[in-house]
């Protein structure tokens, strides 16, 4: 499926997600306030790490290898069975650990042991969440875009209904519980979509581990685990810096700004995951990769630039519609955040090459550099420029990240050749 067709189909899901997010943001702004936003952001960072490890960090590997094994159905199934058993074991172990350490987790991430019950709900739903993530990864790799989109639309509707209802009834505690169970409930929608395919059956997903496929998945596990730790941890450190320097409410303003970025960039990032990552896995020569890269840049960057300008110009209206009047101090973040988002997407187009071609060492290096730099740049920039310094740090981080990623992927003929070597991950 072409980039434009994938974008069009994914656009339907994004429209639904945007509509539900607008309503949900308003509900959360009313019932949890700026300080509540900071705690929700903290919990979402923890959730990202937990879910990644509960799925064995196999998501991108399953997407990539499913696309790569398109003509070898039996090998696809061996890889799926390997990933399926890994997901089953790691999700059960993860659920047990969450139950045992629920008080510590509540104290560490939510600063209140009374929220330990939230982690009980998360532990209960973790195997369902992990199973849903595995099925979605297979759909992505198989290019079942329509079914993937339907599942995402279902997820948006479930999130609105469950989170909105629980936040309305129980405030911040209800919103946190909803975040714990939403993706588990979504498994029902994903299963319904998977049942309509010719690849979904028990024998394709349940069985023993294939050692060769396990080794191939291992490199993606390392990359995903790095992202699962570095990215949320850097955000937690940035948030802690803002709390110490400006207070919990200002940390909530930053979380609200981050949520706006995530909302409008969803169309781009999900299209990259749906179209670009499987496409990279299929390509065998640099000239074809170069053409694909230029096509994506010409299509994606203008969209991001236009969207960023519109959001900056409409920032007061957006704050009013999505949040509430007490969120107005966040308006100082928009200009720098939007500029940083443009550079971020430009750099991610190159970063996807590292994932799709299995450049493990390069990917880990850039992830650690970006995460550490965002935190350190926030410390420096907030000292120099005040609260808006956190958005300036965002731009500085991804400007540096773009240069480093280019140097590690396409800057020289040797780097370009390395992406297509027989043992890519060792040559990275």
Q: Tens digit of pLDDT for each residue in 172-196?
A: 888 889 888 887 888 888 888 888 8
Task: Please say whether the beta carbons of 420 and 284 come within 8 A.
Answer: yes
pLDDT number for residue 426:
42
Q: What's the average model confidence in pLDDT over 367-386?
A: 95
Check pLDDT > 50 for residue 19: yes
Distance from the Cα of residue 339 to its chain's centroid:
20
Check pLDDT > 50 for residue 427: no
Sign of CA dihedral 393, 395, 398, 400: negative
276: which DSSP letter? Answer: I
Q: Which residue has the tokens 């990359």?
A: 223
CA atoms within 13 A on the CB side of 157: 10
pLDDT number for residue 378:
97
pLDDT number for residue 123:
93
Q: Which residue has the tokens 């949040």?
A: 323
| More confident call, 307 vs 42 | 307
CA distance 294 to 330: 35
Q: What's the average model confidence in pLDDT over 86-91?
A: 87
pLDDT number for residue 412:
63
Check pLDDT > 90 for residue 57: no
C-alpha distances in angstroms, 127 versus 123, 153, 243? 8, 21, 34
C-alpha distances in angstroms, 73 versus 142, 190, 193, 337, 428? 11, 21, 20, 44, 29
Closest C-alpha among 396, 393, 395, 394 to residue 381: 393
Q: With bands split at pLDDT 50, 70 and 90, how would you rate the model's confidence at 253?
A: very high
Q: What's the average model confidence in pLDDT over 344-351?
A: 88
Q: Is the pTM of this model over 0.95?
A: no
Q: Where are the domains of the chain?
A: 3-427
Check pLDDT > 90 for residue 229: no
Q: What's the average model confidence in pLDDT over 217-230?
A: 76
Task: Please say whether the beta carbons of 105 and 98 come within 8 A.
Answer: yes
CA distance 217 to 62: 7
Q: 113-117 long-range CB contacts below 8 Å, 24 or more apart? A: 115/173, 115/176, 117/173, 117/177
pLDDT number for residue 428:
39
Q: What's the average model confidence in pLDDT over 22-28?
A: 74
Token pair recorded at residue 60: 């991108």
pLDDT tens for each residue of 203-222: 777 777 888 888 888 777 77
Q: What's the average model confidence in pLDDT over 221-239?
A: 82
Rounded (to 5) percent helix, strand, coil in the chain:
90, 0, 10
CA distance 179 to 175: 6
| More confident call, 43 vs 342 | 342
Closest C-alpha among 195, 112, 106, 103 to residue 147: 195
- Mean pLDDT over all residues of the chain? 83
Q: With bands split at pLDDT 50, 70 and 90, how would you rate the model's confidence at 238?
A: very high
Q: Which residue has the tokens 């049942």?
A: 195
Q: Where are the beta strands (DSSP E) in 187-326?
A: none
2: which DSSP letter? Answer: -
């Amino acid at each position: 499926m072409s980039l434009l067709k994938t974008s069009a189909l994914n656009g339907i899901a994004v429209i639904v997600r945007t509509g539900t997010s607008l309503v949900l943001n308003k509900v959360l702004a009313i019932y949890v306030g700026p300080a509540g936003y900071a705690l929700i952001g903290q919990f979402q960072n923890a959730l990202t790490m937990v879910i990644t490890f509960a799925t064995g960090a196999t998501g991108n590997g399953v997407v990539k290898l499913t696309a790569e094994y398109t003509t070898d159905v039996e090998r696809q199934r061996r890889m799926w069975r390997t990933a399926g058993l890994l997901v089953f074991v790691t999700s059960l172990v993860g659920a047990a650990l969450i139950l045992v350490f629920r008080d510590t987790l509540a104290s560490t991430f939510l600063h209140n042991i009374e929220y330990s019950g939230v982690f009980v709900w998360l532990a209960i739903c973790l195997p369902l969440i992990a199973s849903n993530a595995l099925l979605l990864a297979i759909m992505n790799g198989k290019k079942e875009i329509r079914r993937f989109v339907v599942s995402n639309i279902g997820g948006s509707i479930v999130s609105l209904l469950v989170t909105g209802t629980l936040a309305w009834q129980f405030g911040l505690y209800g919103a946190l519980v909803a975040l714990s169970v939403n993706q588990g409930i979504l498994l029902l929608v994903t299963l319904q979509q998977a049942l309509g395919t010719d690849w979904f059956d028990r024998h394709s997903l349940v069985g023993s581990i294939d050692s060769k496929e396990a080794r191939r998945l291992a490199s993606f596990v390392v990359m995903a685990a790095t992202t699962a730790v570095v990215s949320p941890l850097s955000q937690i450190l940035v948030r802690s810096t803002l709390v110490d320097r400006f207070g919990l409410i200002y940390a909530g303003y930053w979380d609200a700004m981050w949520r706006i970025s995530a909302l409008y960039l969803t169309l781009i990032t999900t299209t990259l995951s749906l179209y670009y990552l499987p496409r990279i896995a299929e390509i065998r020569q640099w000239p074809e990769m170069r053409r694909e890269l230029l096509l994506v840049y010409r299509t994606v960057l203008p969209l991001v630039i236009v969207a960023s300008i519109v959001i900056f110009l409409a920032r007061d209206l957006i704050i009013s519609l999505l949040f509430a009047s007490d969120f107005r101090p966040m308006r100082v973040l928009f200009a720098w955040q939007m500029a940083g988002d443009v550079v971020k997407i430009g750099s991610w187009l190159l970063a996807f090459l590292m994932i799709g071609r299995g450049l493990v060492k390069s990917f880990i290096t850039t992830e650690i550099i970006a995460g550490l730099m965002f935190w350190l740049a926030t410390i420096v920039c907030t000292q120099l420029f005040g609260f808006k310094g956190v958005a300036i740090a965002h731009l500085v981080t991804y400007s540096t990240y773009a240069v480093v990623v280019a140097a590690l992927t396409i800057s020289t003929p040797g780097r370009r050749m390395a992406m297509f070597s027989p043992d890519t991950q060792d040559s990275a």
